[in-house]
Amino acid sequence: MSTKFNKNMSQKQSTKQRAARFKATRKQHRLETAEDYTELIADLIKQKGEARTCDIAKLKGVSHVTAIRAIRRVKELGYLNSEPRKPITLTKKGKKLAEFCKKRHELVVSLFIKLGVPQDIAEKDAEGAEHHISSKTLDAIEKYVKS
């Protein structure tokens, strides 16, 4: 039947769309470590003059071993330079990413605060949510926050 055919097609279509959304979320998660670490390293450099592994680990709330290995992967992605027992620096690409992430983080926090969420909760929720905010959504948030 034509009806059945159409129903099957549209169902298959919406299935694919929904799957695509989950795939997008998984992609965002794969970038999350790089984003959080570069943002954090930029903060440390600004505040302390240098970013050392142990401080990064403390700020991130993980063991120094976890930090070391994450830093290695972020380095392999080209966002930072690190040599044994030396403080970590950001590459140009890393600085760009850190700057973007900081701005995005602040916008998401501002959104939540403008909606009436207490500062500390806004900060907490933003830390996770920020990685799922696409550029279009970010633009929309910026308009709302600055209005």
Q: Which residues bind DNA (CB under 7 A)?
A: 26, 30, 32-33, 52-55, 60-66, 68-70, 73, 84-85, 87
> How far apart are CB 39 and its own copies at their closest, in Å?
11
- Dihedral angle computed from the Cα positions of residues 62, 63, 65 and 68, in that order, rounded to the nearest 10 degrees: 40
Q: Length of the chain, please?
A: 147
C-beta of residue 141 within 8 angstroms of C-beta of residue 111: yes
Binding mask 67-106 for Mn ion (x = CB under 5 A): --------------------------------------x-
Residues 73-102 that bind its own copies (CB under 8 A): none
**Shortest gap between Cβ of 83 and its own copies (angstroms)?**
25
Among 6, 13, 63, 134, binds its own copies (CB under 8 A): 134
Integer Cα distance of 96 and 79 in angstroms: 9
CA–CA distance, 84 with 106 (Å, rounded to integer) = 33
